[in-house]
């Protein structure tokens, strides 16, 4: 995938019935289906059953089984509630009748109310000063481990620019933080809020566990650790545009028992808080069961 249209072609599902949809998969650098893809496709399915103009405000999901890249994913939406202010949907994703993922999503009508949000970090380098994943690949190609090189070589419709580039050959523990600027590639046409939320959900599964790896970087890395997303929650606060860089600011409060917990906030460049994310992931040393 190289463009936003390619990404939307992946996320917008084919309709089988009023509550059933089917989607295909594309690799994001893993041998299994990318968790962000399943999340975003499930939100697309849920939105297709919303007829009262309500918008997504939160989602909570569990990844139950690894998804196979070559098998279509079947999404079934259950209407749990259409109340006076909120609508709730449950989405079940399956392959060959085996459930691989479940999601609950809540939609809210537009209402006026109080407003505040935390501030974005003020001491970060701006994206124009930083290298993207593609730039890192070009500049350090001969020095990157093969697993990192092959991951960076995947074509994506998103540019990522980490504010700090850790040397993979310098095995030392780092603080449990990770800040990454991101932007859609090319000219982005005007998108409605549901579509922007689906794309943001897709992007939100990138980079999170890096902050959980950082405090253990002297001994743990992607090559010697089995990883997988276990669950994923997201809260949407404000509308935004993809016509400028956004910041995904992440931290990991805890790793324990072969699991790592990370959370993050997504800001516009001028500091408006768009969404918050939380995820627990498997971080199992290979050879351990």
> Of 229, 249, 252, 276, which one is the catalytic site residue?
229
User: Where is 102: in which H helix or E strand?
Assistant: strand 98-108
β-strand partners of 246: 182, 268
Give the helix ranges, DSSP H, for the chain.
4-11, 35-47, 133-140, 146-152, 193-203, 210-213
Look-up: residue for tokens 């902050």?
211
User: What is the three-class DSSP state of 92?
Assistant: strand
Q: Which among 205, 211, 252, 265 is annotated as catalytic?
A: 205
229 catalytic, yes or no? yes
Which H helix or E strand runs over 234? strand 225-236
> Is the sign of the CA dihedral 112, 243, 160, 186 positive or negative?
positive
Q: Which residue pairs, CB below 8 angstroms and at least 24 apart, start in 11-14?
A: 11/37, 11/40, 11/41, 11/44, 11/198, 11/199, 11/202, 12/44, 13/41, 13/44, 13/45, 13/48, 13/75
d(CA 186, CA 243): 10
Residues with a catalytic annotation lie at 205, 229, 279
């Amino acid at each position: 995938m190289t463009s936003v249209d390619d990404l939307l072609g992946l996320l917008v599902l084919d309709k089988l019935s009023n509550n059933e949809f089917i989607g295909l998969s594309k690799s994001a650098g893993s041998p299994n289906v990318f968790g962000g893809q399943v999340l975003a496709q499930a939100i697309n399915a849920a939105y297709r059953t919303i007829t009262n103009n309500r918008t997504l405000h939160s989602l909570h999901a569990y990844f139950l089984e690894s998804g196979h890249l070559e098998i279509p994913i079947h999404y079934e939406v259950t209407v749990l509630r259409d109340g006076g202010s909120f609508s709730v949907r449950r989405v079940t994703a399956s392959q060959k009748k085996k459930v691989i993922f479940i999601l609950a999503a809540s939609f809210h009508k537009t209402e006026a109310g109080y407003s505040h949000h935390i501030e974005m970090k003020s001491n970060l380098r701006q994206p124009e000063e930083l290298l993207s994943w593609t730039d890192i690949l070009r500049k350090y190609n001969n020095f990157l481990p093969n697993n990192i090189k092959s991951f960076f070589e995947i074509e994506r419709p998103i540019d990522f620019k980490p504010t700090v580039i850790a040397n993979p050959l310098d095995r030392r523990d780092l603080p449990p933080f990770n800040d990454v600027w991101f932007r859609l590639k090319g000219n982005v046409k005007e998108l409605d809020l549901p579509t922007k939320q689906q794309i943001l959900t897709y992007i939100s599964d990138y980079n999170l566990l890096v902050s959980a790896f950082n405090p253990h970087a002297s001994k743990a890395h992607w090559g010697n650790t089995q990883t997988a997303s276990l669950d994923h929650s997201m809260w949407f606060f404000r509308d935004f545009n993809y016509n400028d860089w956004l910041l995904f600011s992440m931290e990991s409060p805890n790793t324990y028992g072969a699991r790592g917990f990370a959370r993050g906030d997504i800001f516009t460049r001028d500091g408006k808080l768009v969404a918050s994310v939380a995820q627990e992931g498997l971080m199992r040393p290979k050879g351990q069961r």
